[in-house]
Structure 1
Amino acid sequence: MTKTNTRDKLIAAMADALQRKGLHGVGLSELLEIAGAPKGSLYHHFPGGKSELAVAAIDHIGRRIDEQFSQLFRRHGDPLAALHSWLQTALSQLEDSRFERGCPLATVALESGPEDAEIRAALQRIFAAVRLSLSQQLQQHGHAPESATNLAALFVALYEGGLLQARVAGSSEPLRRAADALFNMTRQTPGGDAR
């Protein structure tokens, strides 16, 4: 096992744990076991420990989200159809996990405190990057810059809040209703049909 593989496995294990349990819900032993990594490898690759690993996992998640948006917008000619597809995938994942797998970013954001400055900075950076990426995709599909920026912010807020409520309720209904309202409102302005 190379150093890069061990490091990548630790990041993947942390990204998965953040989505299921949050930062404080997973211990170092569990992370090492999930990654199949030997003791000592965490601090070898991440001298700052669990927090440094969490920041690396948050950055990894941000890159993955950006890639997923790019793929969705390439597949769908209509940006609202791409967003609808994104939400459907998130809902399916949430339902398939029996409402265990929410958004890893939101889970960490909710449990972070003022002492978690590096983690909060990473979250802020990734949320901003996601909104920017989404806004750029919307602009490439004909939305005016301000409209695209506003719609991206609304979509991210709806996604995060809706997933959180659905996870707590053990039901997809909160996110489905919010998404239906967003797509119905957006259809009334230039931009097309979500389905």
Structure 2
Amino acid sequence: MGTKGAATRERLVDGARELIETHGYSGTGLNQVLAVSGAPRGSLYFHFPGGKDELVAAALEKAAEETAALLRELSQQRADLADYARSLVGAFAARMEESRFTKGCPLATVALDVAATNDRVHAVCRKGYRSWQAVVAERLLAEGWEPARAEADAWSVLSLVEGALLLARATRSREPLDRAGEAVVRLLERP
């Protein structure tokens, strides 16, 4: 694929991501993706012969990879575990506030919408969440956590954040995220 083709594919993925994060899978149509991306109709099926599911999967994969990279970067930048926890929650909170509470987790809207009935989307969401959990667990292992506790607490951290993102979006308030951040810090305190 040439540079122009790669750029068109990227625009389609970015357009789909923008729309599905805000409107979910069901609320995003291919005509909307074409309008947002400025890509010609023929390029959609050229790059994504599997149609909407293939395009959504690519958008979710990109979002999951970017979020895993952010979580890893925050872990490397923050020596203190409590500071890492706060910065992790803060990154999601800032993103949500910047979008005026239209975007939370880049996977959650689609996961809630169709992951239970769409195997392809389910697999991408599962892989994305698992990669985020692994990054947090890595940090806890580096802090001396036992492997089983690191695995469990990493899932708990993500659960607190995901729940807070849902509540923050529903209430259009940062308060659930601030409270979740405090809970994450308490969860990660050494016994």
TM-score of the aligned structures, taking structure 2 as reference length: 0.91
Counterpart Cα distance in 2 of 1:154 and 1:181 = 10
The residue that corresponds to 1:133 in the other structure is 135
Q: CA deviation at 1:180?
A: 1.2
CA contact (8 A) 1:19 1:101 kept: yes
CA contact (8 A) 1:22 1:104 kept: no
Counterpart Cα distance in 2 of 1:114 and 1:141 = 35
Counterpart Cα distance in 1 of 2:98 and 2:52 = 28
Change (3 A) 1:70 1:185: closer
> What is the 5 A alignment of 1:1-195?
2-112=4-114, 114-187=116-189, 189=190
Counterpart Cα distance in 2 of 1:13 and 1:82 = 31
CA contact (8 A) 2:81 2:188 kept: no
Counterpart Cα distance in 2 of 1:113 and 1:4 = 28
Kindly report the root-mean-square deviation, in angstroms, between the aligned alpha carbons of the 2 structures: 1.7
Aligned residue-pair number: 189
Q: CA deviation at 1:62?
A: 1.5
CA contact (8 A) 2:85 2:184 kept: no
Three-state SS of the structure 2 residue aligned to 1:14 is helix
Identity %: 33
CA contact (8 A) 1:166 1:175 kept: yes
Q: CA deviation at 1:56?
A: 0.9
Spell out, residue by residue over 1:113-152, the C-alpha distance to the aligned partner (whole angstroms, 9 max, x if none).
6541111111112111211122113212333322221121
Counterpart Cα distance in 1 of 2:30 and 2:88 = 32
Spell out, residue by residue over 1:93-128, the C-alpha distance to the aligned partner (whole angstroms, 9 max, x if none).
212222111112111011116541111111112111
Q: CA deviation at 1:70?
A: 1.6
Counterpart Cα distance in 2 of 1:129 and 1:113 = 17
Counterpart Cα distance in 2 of 1:93 and 1:59 = 18
Q: CA deviation at 1:158?
A: 0.8
- One-letter amino acid of the counterpart of residue 173, structure 1: E
Q: Which runs of 4+ in 1 moved over 2 A?
A: 140-144, 184-187
Counterpart Cα distance in 2 of 1:144 and 1:13 = 42
Structure 1 gap segments, 5+ residues each: 191-195
Counterpart Cα distance in 2 of 1:70 and 1:182 = 17
Counterpart Cα distance in 2 of 1:69 and 1:96 = 19
Spell out, residue by residue over 1:148-183, the C-alpha distance to the aligned partner (whole angstroms, 9 max, x if none).
211210111111111001101111112222221231
